[in-house]
Every structure is written in structure tokens, then in C-alpha cells.
Amino acid sequence: MTWALAIPKAALENPAARHVLLCLANYAGSDGRGAFPSAGTLSDDTGLSERTVRLKLDELAQAGWIAEGNQAIAAAHIDRRDRRPVVYDLLIKRGATAAPRPERGAGNSTGCSSQQNGVQQNAERGAAAAPNPSLNQSTLSLREPFPMSLEWEPNPELLKAYARRAGLTLDQFNAVAISGFVLHHDAKGVAQTEKQWLAALVSWVKSDLARAARSPVARTGGSQRTSFDDDDTSWIGEEGDQ
């Protein structure tokens, strides 16, 4: 983006921060909005470590060069919340008026790749970002195994179908039950598909409810859980394979 290239060196003296800003601008639209390359992508573009990239992004935000934008843009392309990079808007009013960058052939003067994280090299500036094929195949597929993460949240629509098949309601999947399930499995390092995790969560809640019904002391779902049978998925049926 010409706005980023036109920033006087005196206004942004740190070369690492300047390089990160230039590469971030390469993923934004012509209005400076909607840039969401991952820290790994910016690390590849700049040659800096991911930790340094994150530090420089924080510095740029504190200095007023960038701000967090509409996070729904990344969510539209990446279902899993723990895989979504932060969406940034560049505050282009601080500098020169933004203008479309002319075609530069196969490369560009910033040294940043424009082929990663949803930006096509020959796309018109400001056009909607195109999904990264390799990224979306691994993050959007319900059949791609992944280890449990503390950031994981069940897909509401799929969970509703699984719960209904098991004779449960969404109200029974409270925050305490889900947190207990996530904490238990995060430490195990087992990789399963989204559907398998949902089936295991339903079994977890069913087992908690059954034990609470047998116990004279009421328990909060999942809060005192010690063990359960992950393989109890006989309730699933064909609806779980939707």
C-alpha cells in the first residue's frame, strides 16, 4: 500500500516495526481495512520471529498506526476460533491518502508475499480476500483431526443436532460442563475430528447428568468429573453424520 510506503522514516523509526507495517498493509484493502495475516505469515514475510512480529504489532497499535478491526472477516473464512488471526485496520488518515498500488509484475517493493492468507497477487486492491486453500482445508473440515485446545468451543448448530439425538437440550451444556470437558482433554494431547469431540462432549454431559441423578448431592455438570466413557456414542445415529 502506497500509504505505508510514504510514511516518513522520522515518523516510524523502528525498522522492524516499519517492516511489519509494510507487510501488514500488503494484506489490507485500498481503504486500509480487513488485514488478517497470521503471525506466522508475517514472520515468513519479514524474516522476524513470530514473537517479534507480535511485539511489533502491539507497538504499532499503541502508537496509533493500526487498530483491531472487524473480527468477523476472519471468522467468515476460519471456523475454529483458536486458528483465527487478529483482523487489523490500518489508520491511514495518519499519513498520506491511500491510493491503489500499481501492478509491479511478479514482485513488489516491500519484499512481502501477497499469496498467503487470503490475498491473491493479481486481485484488485480492496477486493474481498480469497480463502487460503491450504489453511481452509485444515481448519474448516469437520473431518480433520486436531488436539483439544483451551480456546475450543463447540459448533452450536452441530451440538444442537447431537444433543437432540441424545435426548438432551442445549441448556444442559452449560459453561461449567464444557470447561470441565475441555480442561480434561487439553492435557491428554489426543487428536480427534470436530464430530468426534462433539460426540465425546455429549457422552460427558450425559454421564454427569446420570451420576447427578443417582447422587443425593446435586452437582454442577462437569465440575467434579473424574472419569467417563468416551466410547459411549451409541446414541449418535445418522443425524450425527450430517
Rounded Cα distance between 161 and 100, Å, is 47
Residue 44 pLDDT exceeds 70:
yes
Rounded Cα distance between 83 and 44, Å, is 17
Burial of 218 (0-12, 13-18, 19+ CB in 10 A): exposed
Threshold 0.75, pTM exceeds:
no
Q: Which residue, 110, 138, 166, sits at the end of a domain?
A: 138
- 79 and 93: one domain? yes
Burial of 30 (0-12, 13-18, 19+ CB in 10 A): middle
Mean of the pLDDT values across residues 199-227?
71
- 134 and 182: one domain? no
Residue numbers of the domain that contains 189: 142-241
**Per-residue pLDDT tens for 10-37?**
778 788 988 898 899 888 887 888 888 9
- 162 and 94: one domain? no
Rounded Cα distance between 148 and 199, Å, is 14
Q: Which residue, 103, 138, 173, sits at the end of a domain?
A: 138
- 115 and 227: one domain? no
Q: Which residue, 96, 114, 138, sits at the end of a domain?
A: 138
In total, how many domains does the chain have? Answer: 2
User: Residues of 157-187 as b/e, b for ≥16 C-beta within 10 angstroms?
Assistant: ebbeebbebbebeeeebeeebbebbbebbee
- 147 and 132: one domain? no
Residue 47's pLDDT is what?
A: 92
- 150 and 97: one domain? no
Name every residue whose Cβ is closer than 8 Å to that of residue 216 and which is 6 or more positions away in sequence.
none
Dig out the grid coordinates for 193 from the structure. Answer: 475430528
For 129, 154, 166, 173, 240, the CA distances from 180, given in Å and listed in that order, are 37, 13, 20, 11, 23
- 198 and 107: one domain? no
- 111 and 158: one domain? no
- Asked if residue 31 lies in contact with residue 98, where contact means CB atoms within 8 angstroms, the answer is yes
Q: What is the CATH number of the domain that holds 69?
A: 1.10.10.10
- 122 and 147: one domain? no
**Per-residue pLDDT tens for 132-169?**
433 333 344 567 888 888 888 888 888 888 888 889 98
- 160 and 130: one domain? no
Residue 130's pLDDT is what?
A: 45
Q: What is the CATH number of the domain that holds 203?
A: 1.10.8.1180
